[in-house]
């Protein structure tokens, strides 16, 4: 059984590396949640909300084969090294003594499952209604000698009741001493099927699988084929009030980051453009009564909020 397990993780690493060569709310990793392990409920695994790691699976199998209640965490929250906001996801390789193998940190917005045949499968992801032209993330990477990290993306169609990959992209990268935006173009193999789900996969080690390779991931986003960039499942709360508004519209954000507010007419014409941090007020007394649209973007021009507002006089 242990041999099957080693083959399982070896196959996973090969899968990650091969796809990088040939071809997911909470994109800023601000919120995290605990997942309790049955064999050691006193030390839960903390994961980013709406994301998955291999830590729960690997630790459970490590206990079954090694009977050790010690917990290894390959993906953890880092509040010191981040691009924006309060945290990033830090991926490191950890050695699991019970199964006698080193496992890199693997982070995905898909749901990871393992069946009775020891086959790994993925489901879910970020729901999308338009095709994606590219995906992006800010990463900082300190690799071991000759190691590399990777960023993979899949676009999924669900028309026939099952997941079909209609588009994908990926790249491997070396050392990045500061947070750097990396973009993955998406290539499509099906020209007519609609895009329903978007999946992200990050790993900190593809080559040497050493414990010293560390990857930080933050501010994940994607750009649709219409040219609109959206933050992936954004976790910055934006409120615009009152609604309906009369003379002044107040904007409040749950972040200290610099943001951009834009107010649009129904025909798409930009009526107001203002850079702000935390709170701002928009004068609307000169605008006619009616329905208007607005967006709030982050410093990378990714939309983190879009909604409508009614003006009445």
Q: Where are the beta strands (DSSP E) in 56-148?
A: 75-78, 88-92, 94-96, 101-103, 106-108, 111-114, 120-123, 126-127, 132-142
Q: How far apart are CA 121 and CA 107, in angstroms?
A: 14
Q: How far apart are CA 199 and CA 108, in angstroms?
A: 7
Nearest to 52 by CA among 91, 108, 126: 108
Q: How confident is the model over 161-176, as a mean pLDDT? A: 92
Whether 1 has a pLDDT exceeding 50, the answer reads no
Q: How far apart are CA 181 and CA 88, in angstroms?
A: 14
For residue 94 the two structure tokens come to: 């950890």
Ordered by where they begin, the domains of the chain are 2-231 (2.60.120.260), 238-311 (2.60.40.3080)
Q: What's the pLDDT band for 39 if we cut at 50, 70, 90?
A: confident
Q: What's the pLDDT band for 19 if we cut at 50, 70, 90?
A: very low
Q: How confident is the model over 242-268, as a mean pLDDT? A: 89
How many Cα atoms sit within 13 Å of 90 on the Cβ side?
16
Bridge-partner residues for 248, per DSSP?
A: 283
- pLDDT single digits (tens) 202-253: 999 987 766 789 999 999 999 888 777 666 656 678 889 998 999 999 999 8
Phi, psi (deg, nearest 5) at residue 10: -65, -45
Average per-residue pLDDT in the chain? Answer: 84
For residue 242 the two structure tokens come to: 């009152």
Q: Which residue has the higher pLDDT, 257 or 88?
A: 88
Nearest to 8 by CA among 68, 61, 76: 61
Phi, psi (deg, nearest 5) at residue 228: -90, 125
Q: What is the pLDDT of residue 106?
A: 94
68 CB burial (10 A radius; 0-12, 13-18, 19+)? middle
Q: 141: which residues sit within 8 A by CB, 6+ positions away?
A: 149, 173, 174, 175, 176, 204, 213, 214, 215, 216
Residue matched to tokens 């009775």: 116
Q: What is the pLDDT of residue 235?
A: 65
């Amino acid at each position: 059984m242990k041999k099957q397990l080693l083959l399982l993780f070896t196959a996973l690493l090969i899968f990650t590396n091969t796809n990088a060569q040939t071809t997911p709310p909470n994109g800023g990793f601000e919120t995290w949640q605990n997942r309790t392990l049955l064999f050691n409920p006193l030390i839960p695994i903390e994961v980013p909300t709406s994301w998955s790691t291999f830590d729960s699976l690997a630790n459970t199998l490590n206990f079954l084969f090694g009977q050790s209640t010690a917990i290894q965490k390959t993906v953890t929250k880092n509040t010191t090294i981040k691009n924006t906001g309060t945290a990033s996801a830090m991926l490191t390789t950890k050695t699991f003594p019970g199964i006698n193998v080193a496992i890199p940190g693997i982070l995905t917005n898909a749901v990871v499952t393992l069946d009775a045949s020891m086959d790994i499968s993925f489901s879910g992801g970020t729901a999308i209604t338009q095709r994606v032209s590219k995906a992006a993330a800010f990463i900082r990477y300190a690799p071991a000698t000759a190691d590399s990290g990777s960023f993979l993306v899949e676009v999924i169609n669900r028309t026939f009741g099952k997941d079909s990959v209609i588009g994908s992209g990926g790249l491997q990268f070396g050392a990045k001493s500061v947070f750097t935006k990396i973009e993955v173009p998406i290539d499509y193999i099906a020209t007519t099927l609609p895009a329903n789900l978007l999946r992200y996969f990050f790993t900190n080690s593809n080559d040497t699988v050493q414990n010293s390779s560390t990857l930080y991931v933050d501010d994940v986003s994607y750009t649709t084929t219409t040219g609109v960039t959206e933050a992936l499942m954004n976790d910055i709360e934006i409120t615009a009030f009152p609604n309906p508004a009369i003379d002044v519209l107040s904007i409040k954000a749950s972040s200290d980051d610099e943001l951009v507010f834009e107010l649009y007419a129904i025909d798409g014409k930009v009526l107001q453009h203002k850079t702000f941090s935390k709170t701002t007020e928009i004068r609307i007394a000169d605008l006619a009564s009616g329905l208007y649209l607005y967006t709030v973007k982050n410093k990378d021009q990714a939309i983190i909020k879009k909604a409508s507002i009614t003006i009445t006089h």
